[in-house]
Amino acid sequence: AGVGGLDLGLPSPGEGLILYAGNGGNDQNHGNSASSALLSLQAAADRLSPGDTLYILPGKYDTELRLTRGGSEGKPVRVRAYGKKTVWLAGVKVEAPGVELAGLAVSGAAVGFDLCASDITLRNCGAYQCREAGLRSTGSDRLAVFNCTLADNQTGLALGSSPQAQIRDSILAGNKTLLSADPTSQSTLRSSHNIIAGGELPGYSNWQVEELRFADPAKHDYRLQWDSPAAACDSFCSPAGASSVLPKPLLISNIKIDYLTPNTGIALWETPDDDSFGYLEYWVQGDTQKLRSSSPTQGTRHTAGLKKLRPDTVYEYRVRSNGRRGNYATSEVLSFRTTSTQPEPRTYHLSPNGDDQADGLTPQTAWRSMKKACLAACAGDTFLIQPGSYYDELAPMHGGKPGQPIVFRRNGPGQAIIDGQGLRFQLIKLLDLEHIVIDGLTMINPEEGCRNGVIYLNKCSDISISNCRMGVDKVVYYTSGPFLRAGSCQRLRFENNQGWGGDYPLTLVGCNDVLIKNNTIVDGTMTGSHIVDSREVTIINNLWCRPCIPEKSNQCLFFTAIETDKIVCDYNLFFSPYPTHKVGLIRAGNATPLVYGDNLIDWQKNSPFDKHSIQADPRFRDYEKGDFRLQPDSPALGAGKDGENIGATLPE
């Protein structure tokens, strides 16, 4: 059942009267909404006319529902469970034609559904443990039974003088007699895609099984276990029968706490059978205050960083996981003890030919993956990254300390490449971290589609990113997002980087105390940058070339909701081969344009920015091939603040 009790895809009942009745109602109500429902089901049913619908509120009712008022051609009377829960009745008897029933169930009656008229339809109905028959029809021409369950009855389906009946996508199981029918009813019965346990049913594409694997029939729980043969076998590979399928149990395994220090640790666990999200709850043994750390990525292998730990203290913890198929699990409570002394800072090595089982302390015993480095990183550690390709994101679990940053640096000539293989989006991801230095990495092939950003920072402080490059042999498509996306960060330094592509390549939102210096930003899609609600931002010596695609007329500099006296922007170079591309725009928080700069002269006149900037062809060595080194006659040479060059000059 969908919104309002309708099956997904079922048209609106039309212009007939809609009534609501059931538990919590009052017969003094008008009955035209769930909140003003009638109490008496029978009184509501006796008011129905062709085209009307009665929604019964979920619950268990000890009375039989008798329907004596039916529908007409094209205007059936509908009686349905409201919402997605089942309505349990003591029995249902239909004595009028043109009735549709949905979401109703009967258990333990003499006859579950006693049908004595033509053109009756049952959907998602169930009859269980009935002493005579789960469903009995007498003179019910054109009976239709869809996605129903008839289980553990004396007789499952009893047809008397009911020609042209049909039953499909249903379950008939555990009935002492599966089908009782007169010759005409049996010879005209149409059946398909039913699951049968015990007995035979004429028709085609019906499946005989030995066990249905209901959840708990003794407690009238006829939901299907996840591995039931009826879980995905109706004509649309959905569950057969009236009830839902229980989610597959979620297995959590290989739980451990590793890389412990006095104040931090790493939790690792697996959900080997299902992709899931999860988090770890941890607390001081004997205390009631719980901390939480999440595993941010859906998958089968999970890590979570533990912070704010006390030295030499016993903690208890447990893992909670949610599978993407609706399953859920909680681990047993385990424990660990933090160490008493902080480890000394170390220098580690990474190599494409390394081994994560080695100690990582020499070039000969280097580690292989960024993940290993990110798990092991502690305040003061340095990771020397040998040139070559790495295929996992740089996402450390912990940050450094004042005077003891965690450093990730290319070591040696050549490119140290993080290759997303079109599968990973945030190739560098820093979440709620501080005192991190990233130097000399190259990022290629991020995932295209989510626009999350190639370098993603959120709630970080004291971060330095320099000498990095996005895109080498080809431009990074706009659906990968910005080159840099930083939100709610402070004391961020982004210097001497080259970005080729992205949507809004430099994006800051709610940041404070930021230096954007000597970067080269080429071939943006939307604008060359977007600075939103950020303060104490310095933007100097940067080079923008073609800030947006040719079809657009956007800017290199795009500011929203800023205070101009909190921004320093100067000594930059702007260029595009397309004359409609602009230099700058300042707009209010409600997107109202405030200051325009269609060219540098207008921008300098209308804004307080870029009084020493230039607008000229930067003279790259080979723009088409992505070689953004400057030729000897480039106007960017020596044109920056204090005679520095404008743009990035990456180490060879």
Q: What tens digit of pLDDT does each residue of 399-413 get?
A: 999 999 999 999 999
Categorize the per-residue pLDDT at 10 as very low, low, confident or very high, splitting at 50, 70 and 90. Answer: very low
- The beta-strand segments (E) located in 184-264 are 190-192, 195-197, 207-208, 214-216, 221-224, 253-258
pLDDT in tens, 482-537: 999 999 999 999 999 999 999 999 999 999 999 999 999 999 999 999 999 999 99
pLDDT in tens, 565-594: 999 999 999 999 999 999 999 999 999 999
CB-facing half-sphere around the CA of 593: CA atoms within 13 A: 10
Q: What fold is seen in the domain 3-224? A: Pectate Lyase C-like (2.160.20)
Cβ-based neighbour number of residue 63 at 10 Å: 11
pLDDT for the residue numbered 14: 58
Average confidence (pLDDT) over 376-394: 97
- The beta-strand segments (E) located in 240-339 are 253-258, 265-270, 276-284, 291-299, 301-306, 314-323, 328-330, 334-337
Categorize the per-residue pLDDT at 621 as very low, low, confident or very high, splitting at 50, 70 and 90. Answer: very high
CATH says 253-337 is which class? mainly beta
pLDDT for the residue numbered 198: 85
pLDDT for the residue numbered 309: 96
pLDDT in tens, 140-178: 999 999 999 999 999 999 999 999 999 999 999 999 999
User: Is the pLDDT at 13 greater than 80, yes or no?
Assistant: no
pLDDT for the residue numbered 424: 78
* 3 state SS of 551: coil
Phi/psi of residue 167, each to 5°? -140, 125
Average confidence (pLDDT) over 91-106: 98
Categorize the per-residue pLDDT at 235 as very low, low, confident or very high, splitting at 50, 70 and 90. Answer: low
pLDDT in tens, 339-349: 999 999 999 99
Report the C-alpha gap between 342 and 310 in whole angstroms: 12
The neighbouring-strand residues paired with 499 are: 470, 521
User: Is the pLDDT at 325 greater than 90, yes or no?
Assistant: no
Report the C-alpha gap between 585 and 596 in whole angstroms: 5
Prediction pTM value: 0.77
Average confidence (pLDDT) over 244-248: 90
pLDDT in tens, 622-649: 999 999 999 999 999 999 999 999 999 9
How, if at all, do strands 104-107 and 441-444 pair? unpaired
- Per DSSP, the residues of 459-528 read S-EEEEEES-EE-SSSPBPGGG--SEEEES-EEEEEES-EEEB-SSSEEEES-EEEEEES-EEE--SS-S
Phi/psi of residue 45, each to 5°? -65, -35
Q: Any alpha helices (H) in 190-323, and if so which ranges?
A: none
pLDDT in tens, 178-199: 999 999 999 999 999 999 998 8
pLDDT in tens, 481-490: 999 999 999 9
- The beta-strand segments (E) located in 354-479 are 382-385, 388-390, 406-410, 416-419, 428-431, 434-439, 441-444, 455-458, 461-466, 469-470
The residues near 286 (Cβ < 8 Å, ≥ 6 apart) are: none
pLDDT in tens, 416-438: 999 999 987 799 999 999 999 99
**How does DSSP classify residue 170?**
-
Categorize the per-residue pLDDT at 234 as very low, low, confident or very high, splitting at 50, 70 and 90. Answer: low
State the Rg of the chain over Cα: 34
The residues near 598 (Cβ < 8 Å, ≥ 6 apart) are: 582, 583
* Pick from 110, 123, 129, 6: nearest CA to 64: 110
pLDDT for the residue numbered 9: 34
